[in-house]
Chain A
Amino acid sequence: MTTLLDDLLSMQPEDIWRRNERPDADGLRDKAQIYYEDVNEGDELPKYIYKPTPTHLFRWSAAIENFHRIHYDLDFGLNHDRNPSILVHGSWKQSVVPQYLKDWTLPNGWPWKARFEHRAMLVPGDVLIMWGRVTSKYEKERIGFIELEIGMKTQDGIESMPGTATVVLPLRDGPPIPYPFVPPSD
């Protein structure tokens, strides 16, 4: 049972961090399938908590070969771009989204699509909460579609990435979800 987003936002940052529900490798290996029938409107997804540091930011810059100085050069960020600090990458946030949807739909569901906006500058020291909530569900061609509201909030409740997503879950007695994924015809 996940900690509710509203409850997390009433906590101190260190208490939010203790509620981190990001799975480890074994948790992902042994993940039990969530079926369409298990999901109800209003359900919340597990909360992934992050505490990005300058090292995390530099590691991401290096991994994707992003040389934009606002992410690792504090002097440039403060004095050239007038940012409050070095900034957490939008590219990292948008890479967390498919990871988050993949993890929730594993092992046989599908993280089909998402759309989101980047708002608010995130900086080292922020505690970030990746969250999702079921807004509706429907069945088509004997597979289940789940509509989600998603986002990444700061410890202060500022929404930095409001968005929506559609994921696909199998029915208990339904066929496997096609792979590569083929959306149903309208």
Chain B
Amino acid sequence: MTQQAPPPALTPEVQAMIGVSGDIVESWGVVDGEYMRRFTQALMDPDPRYWDDDFAKSTRYGELIAPPIMVSYLASRIRPDQDDPITAAFEENPESDGIGSVERPGELPPVPTNLVRVLNAGNELEVYAYPSIGDTIFFQNRYSDIRERLGRDGTPFLIITRETRYWNQDDVTLCITRASTIRR
């Protein structure tokens, strides 16, 4: 009796998700010195380009700059004028892990697959400009790539790449991040 090949993971419905984008989200607040102080101290980056006005004016940037990847965390701040999903997650389930059930703005629709196990497959970061104090940050998620691979046992799995572009009020791209996950 011949064994039936497992069904493909990259179905037409899954493939149709490549290029699907989420809403453009304007982050709450702006890039500010206090957020940056906490971020850079926690990162342990003492660069005076982040806090020394006089020195920053003498650099090629001519002003204080902010770490590029900081905007990806700043952009996920929960707006104070909306229901707080963190509080809701813990009210619904005191054993919440604090992250799994928390909906964030700009999320992408789920990929229609019954593969449920999620593993981190890697990250990419491209940097084009440093954020400035006072910048308003916009971002948009997109499924930039979905590929099928075969596991050692011949079972297909997916590698799903979600790209996020961050830009400022002048439409200057600051950075692009890509996070790939394995779905088994």
Stretch with Cβ within 8 A of B (4 or more), from A10-18, A91-99, A132-140: A91-99
A64 contacts B97, C-beta separation under 8 Å: no
Q: How far in angstroms is the closest Cβ of chain B from A50?
A: 7
**B126 interface residue per 8 A CB criterion:** yes
**B111 interface residue per 8 A CB criterion:** no
Given A67-B98, A118-B120: A112 and B46 interface contact (C-beta under 8 Å): no
Which residues of chain B have C-beta atoms less than 8 A from A114's C-beta? 124-125
Stretch with Cβ within 8 A of B (4 or more), from A39-47, A55-63, A141-149, A151-159: A55-63
Chain A interface residue bracket vs B: 35 or more
Interface residues on chain B, number (Cβ under 8 Å): 42
Which residues of chain B have C-beta atoms less than 8 A from A64's C-beta? 39, 42, 73
**B129 interface residue per 8 A CB criterion:** yes
Count, A-B residue pairs, CB within 8 A = 116
A179 contacts B44, C-beta separation under 8 Å: no
A179 contacts B61, C-beta separation under 8 Å: yes
B42 contacts A63, C-beta separation under 8 Å: yes
Given A25-B48, A28-B48, A59-B41: A113 and B125 interface contact (C-beta under 8 Å): yes
Given A80-B95, A111-B127, A180-B129: A25 and B60 interface contact (C-beta under 8 Å): no
CB-CB nearest in chain B for A167: B127
**B156 interface residue per 8 A CB criterion:** no
Please provide the chain A residues from 76 to 102 with a CB less than 8 Å away from any CB of chain B in the complex: 76, 80-81, 90-92, 94-99, 102
